[in-house]
Amino acid sequence: MTWLDLPADHPFGLHNLPYGVFSTGGPDGERRVGVRVGDHVLDLAACAERAGMESAVVWRGGSLDAFLAEGRPAWTAARAWLQDHLSDDAARDCVEPNLVPVGEVTMHLPFTVADYVDFYASEHHATNVGRIFRPDSEPLTPNWKHLPIGYHGRAGTVVVSGTDVVRPTGQRRPPTQEAPVFGPSVRLDIEAELGFVVGGPATGLGRRVDLDDADDHLFGVVLLNDWSARDLQAWEYVPLGPFLGKSFATTVGPWVVTTDALRAARVPLPGQDPEPLPYLRGRDGADGGPGTAYGLDVHVEVEWNGTAVSRPEYRDMYWSPVQMLTHLTVNGATIRPGDLFGSGTISGADPGTRGSFLELSWSGQEPLTLDDGSQRSFLEDGDTVTLRATAPGPDGSVVGFGECTGTVRPAV
């Protein structure tokens, strides 16, 4: 397949080629845009300059920002150029000297997050949370099946995998009290999600993105952990939604897997009833194919201190990423390159596929037992959570997302 020594089943083969930002010589080294190839990272600007590409400048600057802004034609051209060069013996001279072993790099936040939105697209997650947070009401609110519910989060606290997460402090109200108490969160949780990275030129104010065009604005997908302090969230979130219970940290994986690499992972949605309003409908899939409003067959794994505690399946999600993007702009809101939106927690009907500890421990009533024998409902200081994911690629290949990991540090 390629002169690179890559086994056909490698999750970072030429069918994948996710983008990231790395440095060598530690975290303070110069930041460079790279693409993951097998167990190496290719320094893209250096390779493209050596190849005499004028457009190499788009990969200078230490982030994906300029490349994101270019849009679909440039992304497609770059992918084709990379696949050519990585399989053409004649291009060895510009590739080989610019490959860095992945063990020698430090990864950084791959792009400047413009606006960050988090959706709530799993029916099973929304139902579980409704049962736990609002036991006296219908678990799904009346709007839930008519629109992908979302809210804005804090872009400035999106951090890259490997960043320590300091336990947040704030107000919570113990169940038996009228007044809140102050202190470190005692119900620190995760949410296993995918994050969608928006690119292409900024849209104009008042212009909406049609669902059938939404894909042109989606550059790629990252693993995302929406750390959540459930006690802070429960006290603060009525009536204006989650705020400090979420804003302390959101971790994204270092590798942006392109939507091009995920073509073979498209699947039909599990089914939407009632049928959504026309602006949220895409073209039907021919011959049972996924259609414009597609789902994604991504398998996620949640590991807690080395124990795999859940295996969420992204194909169970009710709303499609293109429906989320379309909804986000239906009111005329602009999108900009670098916008990021999370899917919301990925949870399925099976308890072993729930994407938050709130659900896995049923609000602490059913603690989990880890491989070392310890019991957990929520995170303790020193705990490490790692998300991993794969998706089917073309011809039986596997697309890897890498890891999205973080360790909890004590409150300060």
Which of the stretches 34-42, 111-119, 288-296, 393-401 binds a copy of itself when contact is defined by CB under 8 A?
111-119
Q: Is 381 in the site for a copy of itself (CB under 8 A)?
A: no
| Residues 3 and 90 sit within 8 Å (Cβ to Cβ) | no
Q: What's the helix, strand, coil split of the chain in %, to 5?
A: 25, 25, 45
Q: Please confirm, yes or no, whether 125 is among the known catalytic residues.
A: yes
Q: Which of 76, 84, 101, 134 binds a copy of itself (CB under 8 A)?
A: 134
**Phi/psi at 334 (5° precision):** -75, 155
CA dihedral 324, 69, 12, 398 (to 10 degrees): 30
Start-end of H helices in 226-336: 230-236, 321-329
Among 220, 159, 223, residue whose Cα is nearest residue 194: 223
Residues marked as binding for Ca(2+)? Answer: 118, 191, 193, 226
Contacts (CB under 8 A) with a copy of itself, residues 195-224? 202, 205-208
Binding to a copy of itself by residue 347, rule CB under 8 A? no
Nearer residue to a copy of itself within complex by CB, 270 or 410: 410
Q: How far is the CB of 234 from a copy of itself (least distance, A)?
A: 10
When the beta carbons of 153 and 348 are compared against a copy of itself, the nearer one is 153
* Count of residues engaged in binding a copy of itself, rule: CB under 8 A: 71
Q: What three-state secondary structure class fits 200?
A: coil
Judge contact between 168 and 185, C-beta under 8 A: yes
d(CA 122, CA 128): 10
Instruction: Tell me whether residue 301 is exposed, middle or buried, using C-beta atoms within 10 angstroms of its C-beta: 0 to 12, 13 to 18, 19 or more.
Output: middle
Site for a copy of itself in 286-345 (CB under 8 A): 327-328, 330-336, 339
**Binding range to a copy of itself, per CB under 8 A, among 8-16, 65-73, 271-279, 379-387:** 271-279
Does position 90 interact with a copy of itself (CB under 8 A)? The reply is no
Instruction: List the x/- string, 225-254, binding to a copy of itself by CB under 8 A.
Output: ----x--x--xxxxxxxxxxx-xxx-----
CA-atom Rg of the chain in angstroms: 21
- Burial of residue 399 (number of CB atoms within 10 Å: 0-12, 13-18, 19+): buried
* Neighbouring residues of 285: CB distance < 8 A, sequence distance ≥ 6: 268, 291, 292, 294
Residue from 73, 93, 104, 152 that binds a copy of itself (CB under 8 A)? Answer: 152
On whether the CB atoms of residues 285 and 268 are closer than 8 A, the answer is: yes
The b-or-e profile of 202-215 (16+ CB within 10 A means b, else e) is ebeeeebbebeebb
Smallest distance, Å, CB 159 to a copy of itself?
A: 7
How buried is 275 (Cβ within 10 angstroms: 0-12 exposed, 13-18 middle, 19+ buried)? exposed
Q: Is 362 exposed, middle or buried (0-12, 13-18, 19+ CB in 10 A)?
A: middle
Q: CA geometry: angle at 65 spanning 257 and 149, to 5°?
A: 65
Binding-site residues, in ranges, read 118, 120, 134, 191, 193, 226, 233, 237, 246, 250, 345
If the CB atoms of residues 69 and 99 are measured against a copy of itself, the closer one turns out to be 69
Please enumerate, by residue number, every residue annotated as part of a binding site for substrate: 120, 134, 233, 237, 345
- Examine residue 174 and tell whether it contacts a copy of itself (CB under 8 A): no
Q: Does 31 bind a copy of itself (CB under 8 A)?
A: no
Region binding a copy of itself by CB under 8 A among candidate stretches 17-25, 114-122, 371-379, 380-388: 114-122
Please report how close the Cβ of residue 299 comes to a copy of itself at its closest, in angstroms. 27
Closer to a copy of itself at the Cβ: 231 or 403? Answer: 231
Residue stretches of the annotated binding site for Mg(2+): 226, 246, 250
Is 66 a binder of a copy of itself (CB under 8 A)?
Answer: no
Please say which residue, 307 or 334, places its beta carbon nearer to a copy of itself.
334
Nearer to a copy of itself, 232 or 391 (CB): 232
- Taking the least distance from each CB to a copy of itself, the nearer of 72 and 336 is 336
Among 6, 82, 109, 159, binds a copy of itself (CB under 8 A): 159
**Catalytic annotation, residues:** 125
